[in-house]
Structure 1
Amino acid sequence: MSPFILMRYSAILLLRQNISAIEGVKPIIIKGACYAVGNGSSINVWKDPWIPWVDNFKPKPKHIDAPLTHLMVSQLIDHAQHQWNTSLVQDTFDQQSAQAILNIHIPLRFRPDKLIWTPNNKGNFTVKSAYWSALDSDNYLPQSNLPWKRLWNLKAPERMKMLLWRIGTTTLPTKKNLCQRMLIQDSCCALCKHELESPIHLFIECPIAKALWLSCCWGLKPEEHSIQSPESLIKLILDPPKAPCPEEDQWLIPLNMAFILDEIWFLRNQSLHKGSQIDMQAAITNIQ
């Protein structure tokens, strides 16, 4: 395959993935996007979201079987008085929709209609507000049984808590995750160079990972604990098996396990991005 054809194929693949990603967040955008009425000339009454206090930001007709003719918001406004045409609004919409429309402020100086993001008090779209909006959506984010509060209260550096969170939510950029988003040539584990680099393989099944667990975690063999998913790996860390140490030191077990995951991820990145040789003794020393 020529470089030109390969570049074209990669561009098409990335475009499709971007379109898919946009479609994936569409329910969240629909949930929070609403027009702020200016002159009303660009807002379709029945198709566009424009009423903040009703379901889906769209009005309901006064009569259910009434035909929804083409109607712009500007046609509902008495432009000379800068107010709603009350009788027309009440004759067109049901009582709840009509009252909500009449509560919308008409600006003294007409301005263009503006699409705003309602979860933000300034109307601006932010990733943070979209994230919290997504958490409130039962149909968007997969449900997780992980006790996140316990994770954030773990006695460990914040950087490691974030790593555990990324593992548990499958957002860590392992090669398996990258393959689902873009075209990469090599999907093999950066440590052993054999299997597909999934989170479970990298942190549990890879021979390098197994050696670190065995050497640094009281001879622990993770494969004996039925770890089938990233969630179950995090659950094992939050509810670890007993270790041969005093009872008052048992809190060190999750911390030690987090250090092992952190070192595995560090070795993986050093090998992948810098071509570094794996020094097992140095890795064990780092964990200890």
Structure 2
Amino acid sequence: MQPVPEEGLELKVADCVDEEGRWLAHKFSEFLPMEIQQQITALAVDPLATSDDSLLWRPTSNGRFSTKSAYHLMMPSPQGGDHKLWKMLWNLPVPERIRCFMWLLVLGKISSNEAHCQRHLTTESDCYRCAGRVETILHIFRECPPATYFWTRVVASSDQPAFSSMSTQTWLRKNILSEDTSITGIPWNAFYSIAVWLLWKNRNDGTFQGISKTLSAPSLTQAIKVKARLWYDAWKAPTIGSDRLSPPAQRIQAEIGWKLPPPGWWKLNVDGASNGNPGVAGAGGVLRGSDGRWAGGFCASLGCCSAVMAELWGLYHGLDIAWRHGCRTLMVESDSKLAIELVNNRTDPLHPYATLLAAIRRKIAQDWVVRLSHVYREGNRVADWLSKHSLVYPYGVHEMPNSPQALVPLLREDDQGVTFPRDIVPCPPSPSLYPSLLYSSVLGLCASFHAKKKTKRRM
């Protein structure tokens, strides 16, 4: 890497792309780090765009500013650094109020008498029950006599030393992430969270109403066991209006494989790959006729981007090659449902992929018939191989008029109709896959309607 030359300081995007929107990487490769080059070359540039440049808000998926995303940027929390803990916590099979309580507890937002005293909200830092002992968070939930009595009866004796010596955060984290089962037969992390909640409630009764209003240690232990079972069973039971009333989707085993296109049609299979998502990415595709023979293929080394963007680049380059090959009735298959939905549905102009999506839609809108559909990976194996193989190529699109020798076995299996079992949820075909039939139906209805109007006028 060399220092940026004086002329390089004045470079604009328009100076670094050709008339087709392809990056002229040599214009900046000598003075930009490789990782920056790879991020640049994966971006789509639309040479036909007429709109002004716009600022995007990176923290949101659609590029538009939101106060929620700004709040999360301004208020860093451990939630961003320990995804597994928070995912487990918010999926605990307990009432919602207990999940919220555990969230506050992990964040250190539940106050003890010690914390109140430090903030000058009170002059008494002792536990209401244990005179002379400071009431810390650990004292409330682990060291106060009712809590100690409870834990010694539900935690195995061999685990007691470690259980009783952990720091506050370690103790909370280890038990929330636990995959063990409690003595009551319910998940330990659910049992633990319910117990902590009820210990807190019992402590509050003693603090604000007096010790006579609290449960004795044996009674509290029994109450926790009973309520933990009741609440867990209630959580599992379906309720009116709950999604759990809906039966689970019935899956069937289907044989999946590549299928020949109908006579007169071409089939394009495309795929994308990203080593890291985002990471070094590539795309690949293969074009075959109704006889199953290889008509063309490509490997595209893209730079650094997400897997979805790599899938979209695969669609773009595949459509470009199919058009130049002379195909005018084309079936396109991709194993990325998200990429297909992004192409089919309207997207925000500020969406990070908006430029590339617009370029793909322009190619589809040319004077030809294109049917875009999802296919499982078992029916997309050749394109999958090409997309992964593209990662070894230098930047750019590398067309293949002939199939690589390594692909011959896969191509032969596709030609022979080899299939692989897969559990799928059956669904009816979408009308959008048959635009010509749908369009004909609409024209027929319109013609019928106008014919009736003319008949009425004559009468």
TM value normalised by structure 1: 0.47
Determine which structure has the larger strand proportion and give its number.
Answer: 2
Larger radius of gyration: 2
